[in-house]
Amino acid sequence: MSQRYDVIVIGAGPAGYIAAIRAAQLGFKVACVEKWISPAGEPALGGTCLNVGCIPSKALLASSEEFDKASHHLHEHGITVQGVSVDVARMVARKDGIVSKMTKGIEFLFRKNKITWLKGHGRVAGSADGWYRVEVTGSAPAEVEVSETRNLIIATGSKARHLPALPVDNQRICDNEGALAFTEVPARLGVIGAGVIGLELGSVWRRLGSRVTVLEAMPGFLAACDEAVAKECWKIFTRQGLDIQLGVKIGEVDTSGTTIKLPYVDAKGAAAVLEVDRLIVSVGRVPNTTDLGLETLGLVPDERGFIEVDDHCRTRLPGVFAIGDVVRGPMLAHKGEDEGVMVAELIAGQQPHIDYNCIPWVIYTSPEIAWVGRTEQQLKAEGREYKTGQFPFAANGRALGMQATEGFVKVLADARTDEVLGVHIIAATASDLIAEAAVAMEFKASAEDIARVCHPHPSMSEVMREAALATDRRALNM
C-alpha cells in the first residue's frame, strides 16, 4: 500500500526544500524526495546551492579574501604581517564544515516541520484519479518506495554543462564540484567561460596565488550587466591580474602530459595553446529533467531540457508545478526559493505573485557586482526615456575607512515619472546594498523616494542615496 501525501516535492535544493517547508507551514502533509550523497557518503539535503554551489563557493571566497588582505592590504593600516601562507586542506575543511552545518540545518527544519524525507532517486510513474504516483529508488535498487500525491512539485535543479572536447574528471579538468575541492593552489589555472562561476572561482584561486587565464567564447564581457558596470569590471579584474581572452574558439584538450594543453583560436584568428595545471569548465548549466518519468505524465521538456511553466510555475497538468533551475528565468537560489513559496501558497488557495523584474543578481567577485531591473542598454532598446545618476564609493568616508573605494552605484529612473527602473552596483558590499534597491523597485519607488529616506552615516548605503540624488543632478557630496 503506497503512502499518500498532500504534496510531494522532488529535489531538496533551495527551491524544493523551501517549497516543502512553506507547504508544511500551511498545514499540508509533505514529503520531499532527495538523492544527494555527500563526499563522506551521507545522504544530504540542500541541493547544488548548499553542497557544491552558493555556500561552499562563498566560504572559499571569504578565505581567499582574508589571505589577499593579509598578504597585500594590511600594511596600509600600519599592520605588519610576515610569513603569510595558505593551508589549502584546512581552508577546504572549513568550507566542508560550513556545508555540513547548513545541510544538517535543513534536516532539522524538516524534522521541525514534520516533512518526510524520501531518500533516493524519484521518478514519476503516471497518475490515476488525480493522484500522481512517485517511485523512489533507494541505495539498493530493489528498494522502491511508492507514494502518491495530489500536488507534485518538480524541483530537480541543474548540473554543469560539459563540452565533448573537454572531458571533466574533476581531478585535473573540473566543473564546479571539482573546482571547490582543489587540494593545492594550481600554479597555472585555466577557466573556460567568463560567466558567473568562471569569474568567482577564477578570482578565488587567483587571490590564492594561481596565474589565471579565462577563455571566453563571446566577443563581449559580462553581456548581461549594464555596460558601464561591465567596462569598469573589465578594468578592475584585468588590473587584479585575471588574463581574460574574449572571442576565442577552443579546440580539443591534450591531457597526455603532466600539464594540460588546450589549443584555441583567439579573437584575431591567431592559433595559440593554453598550458595549465588545472582547468575549470564553467560554460553554463543544464536542467535535470532526464530519468524523471515525466513522459508518464505526457510532460515533454523543451529542446534545452526545461519544463514549461506559466508565470506561476504551473505546468499544463493540474496540481503539477516546476520551480527553480528546471524552469525559465535566472538560475539563482533566491529565485527558486521565491518560486517554492509561491507554489506552496497557490496550492493553499492563496494568490501569491513574483515580479521577476525585481529579482536581484550578484556576482561575488571582489569587489562584488549586483544589479536589479533594467540595464541602460535595455532601456535604450525599449525606447524608454530615462535619466541616470551615478556616485562613486571613492567619495564615501566609510568606503575609505574600509579600503573599499572601488566601484559606484548607478540608478536608472524614468525621465517623466522618476520611477526607479534599474540599479547597478560595483562595491565590496554590493550583495547587501542591492536589497534596498530591490525593496524600492517592488514598492515602485521613485529615485526621489530613495533620496528622501534617511541613510545611516557613515555607511556604504549613503552612496545609494547620492546616486538617487544624482538622477536629479543634486548629489550632495560631489
Q: What is the CA radius of gyration of the chain?
A: 24
* Residue 181 interacting partner from ligand FAD, ligand NAI, none (CB closer than 5 to 8 Å by kind): none
Show contacts with ligand FAD in window 64-93 (CB under 6 A): none
Cα–Cα distance, 217 to 215 (Å, whole number): 7
Show contacts with ligand FAD in window 23-52 (CB under 6 A): 33-36, 47-49
Among 63, 103, 176, 390, binds ligand FAD (CB under 6 A): 176
424 given a catalytic annotation: no
> Residue 147 is which amino acid?
S
DSSP SS3 for 251: coil
Closest separation in Å from C-beta 80 to ligand NAI: 34
Q: Which x/- pattern over 1-20 shows residues binding ligand FAD (rule: CB under 6 A)?
A: ---------xxxxxxx----
Determine the size of the site formed for ligand FAD (CB under 6 A).
Answer: 35
* Residue 247 interacting partner from ligand NAI, ligand FAD, none (CB closer than 5 to 8 Å by kind): none
**Closer to ligand NAI by Cβ: residue 233 or 362:** 362
Q: Give the contacts of 357 (CB within 8 A, at least 6 positions apart).
A: 373, 374, 441
**Closer to ligand NAI by Cβ: residue 244 or 343:** 244
| Location of C-alpha cell 499544463 | 316
* Residue 33 interacting partner from ligand FAD, ligand NAI, none (CB closer than 5 to 8 Å by kind): ligand FAD
* Residue 163 interacting partner from ligand FAD, ligand NAI, none (CB closer than 5 to 8 Å by kind): ligand NAI
3-state SS record for 399-454:
HHHCCCCCCEEEEEEECCCCEEEEEEEEECCHHHHHHHHHHHHHCCCEHHHHHHCC
The three cell numbers of residue 361 are: 543578481
Among 115, 332, 379, 413, binds ligand FAD (CB under 6 A): 332
Per residue in 344-360, is it b (16+ CB within 10 Å) or e — as a string? bbbbbeeeeebeeebbb
**Closer to ligand NAI by Cβ: residue 206 or 285:** 285
* Residue 399 interacting partner from ligand NAI, ligand FAD, none (CB closer than 5 to 8 Å by kind): none
Strand order in the sheet with 249-250: 249-250, 260-265, 271-276
* Residue 229 interacting partner from ligand FAD, ligand NAI, none (CB closer than 5 to 8 Å by kind): none
Cα–Cα distance, 330 to 358 (Å, whole number): 12
**Closer to ligand FAD by Cβ: residue 282 or 388:** 282
Stretch that binds ligand FAD, among 152-160, 266-274, 299-307, 381-389 (CB under 6 A): 152-160
Show contacts with ligand FAD in window 271-290 (CB under 6 A): 288
Closest separation in Å from C-beta 164 to ligand NAI: 10
**Closer to ligand FAD by Cβ: residue 232 or 325:** 325
What does the DSSP assignment read for 144-168? Answer: EEEEEEEEEEE---EEE--BTTB--
Binding-site ranges for ligand NAI (CB under 6 A):
163, 192-198, 200, 215-218, 250, 282-285, 330-332, 362-364
* Residue 103 interacting partner from ligand NAI, ligand FAD, none (CB closer than 5 to 8 Å by kind): none
Asked if 122 interacts with ligand FAD (CB under 6 A), we say: yes
Q: Helix 88-112 and helix 54-68: axis angle, to 10°?
A: 140
Per residue in 276-289, is it b (16+ CB within 10 Å) or e — as a string? bbbbbbbbebbbbb
Q: Give the contacts of 139 (CB within 8 A, at least 6 positions apart).
A: 119, 120
209 φψ region: left (φ > 0), alpha (ψ -120 to 50), beta (else): left
List the catalytic residues: 457
Binding region for ligand FAD (CB under 6 A) = 10-16, 33-36, 47-49, 53-54, 57, 121-122, 155-158, 176, 197, 288, 292, 324-325, 331-334, 336, 364
